[in-house]
Amino acid sequence: MTGMYQTSIGAHNHRSHRDDDYKLPHPVRPITDYFREAGFFTANVTEPAPGLKVRGKTDLNFTVDKLFDGKHWNQRQQGQPFYAQINLPWTHRRFVKNEQKPVDPETIELPPYYADHPITREDWALYYDTIGILDQNIGLIMKQLESEGLLESTIVFFFGDNGRPHFRGKQWLYDGGIHVPLVVCWPDKRKAGDVNEELVSAVDITAASLYLAGINVPEYMQGQNFLGPKGKRREYIIAARDRCDETVDRIRCVRTKRYKYIRNYYSDRPYTQLNRYKESEYPVLRLMKRLNVKKKLTPEQALFFASNRPPEELYDLQTDPHEVKDLSGNPKFEDKLIELQQILDTWIEATRDQGGIPENPSVVEFYLERMKKNYDERIKACYKEENMSLELFK
């Protein structure tokens, strides 16, 4: 919504500014301000096709006076251009079975860091089922635009807001957590089916959207346009994770086309430090905790269940796409490690990364109590049903 890194605008801790009237720092403004000033109608669409209803979720971590003009592009004046945002809940958990075309769990190729178990296969099959339902609903939206005569004058961006909702995915800086889909559909279907392997950050989508609308991209904006003859190319992207729900953390990464550097600021803590939402909603996490206690995990699978984590991790994504062979201690890669360390240090300073500023303890305590209230009983029921010791939860 801003084309800025969350760490630069104070929005990096999960849901930290939902109720405190927190404002964006000057001169940052939401993208809809720029569209509105250029004459566009802005909509947070809640029924993009007949019978297809969505929440219109914004999930902002700041407060603005006016974000959208309405809930559908049809509320605009005749002939007025529009910017519409449609937030589709699929594939957020919980997953939904695709009755029309269910995925066979036995056909799934699992990453090596997941236990090959019926529970894992069933969970992933439902995930793919839900992706299928998402795809069907996107088709309904595209048909609706076509039926209204808008498809031939509308540019459509489709992208994910986070990685896959499995452990070691969403909220983590491995590619399972930060590599999201991005599809751009042009009215004239130019380059249809082409795949672009360039590195793009989600903040760049904001700048590209303004560029395509003929609106100047503000100089302060950290996102950069990647489309057209003047599109810029990134040599690397930066990703960050801080507190999520009640789980306090700070992780940063540099991702080039070939290498991934991760810095763990809380290296004394396990990867699987307590997160009640994940304990209740991720059955494979509970499964693998149980298998880990019984020492039935492979070395690659056991990595994520270590009692602590290294301060740094380095992966060669060309030879190790699953990021299970940490090269940070290998002398052959010392120069690459130093290079990526310096890139991250420079970025932290240049973007004024606020992750090093301690969060107000009362905010953390609020989310701790909230998560306890919402999930403790659900977790206990899950563990009881699966005949697991609650010690694994604690």
Instruction: Report the pLDDT averaged over residues 81-103.
Output: 95
With a pLDDT cut of 70, the percent of the chain lying above it is 100
Instruction: Report the pLDDT averaged over residues 23-45.
Output: 98
pLDDT value, residue 329: 96
The model's pTM is 0.96
Contact 253, 238 (CB under 8 A): yes
Contact 158, 209 (CB under 8 A): no
Closest C-alpha to 16, from 393, 394, 357, 375: 357
Is the model's pLDDT at 58 over the cut of 90?
no
Within 8 A by CB and 6+ apart from 240, the residues are 5, 6, 7, 12, 173, 251, 252, 253, 353, 355
Q: How confident is the model at residue 59 (pLDDT cuts 50, 70, 90)?
A: confident
Mean residue pLDDT of the chain comes to 96
Locus of tokens 């990453």: 111
Instruction: Report the pLDDT averaged over residues 132-149.
Output: 97
Q: Could you give the CA distance from residue 171 to residue 239 in angstroms, rounded to a whole number?
A: 10
pLDDT value, residue 347: 98
pLDDT value, residue 145: 97
Is the model's pLDDT at 306 over the cut of 90?
yes
Q: How confident is the model at residue 42 (pLDDT cuts 50, 70, 90)?
A: very high
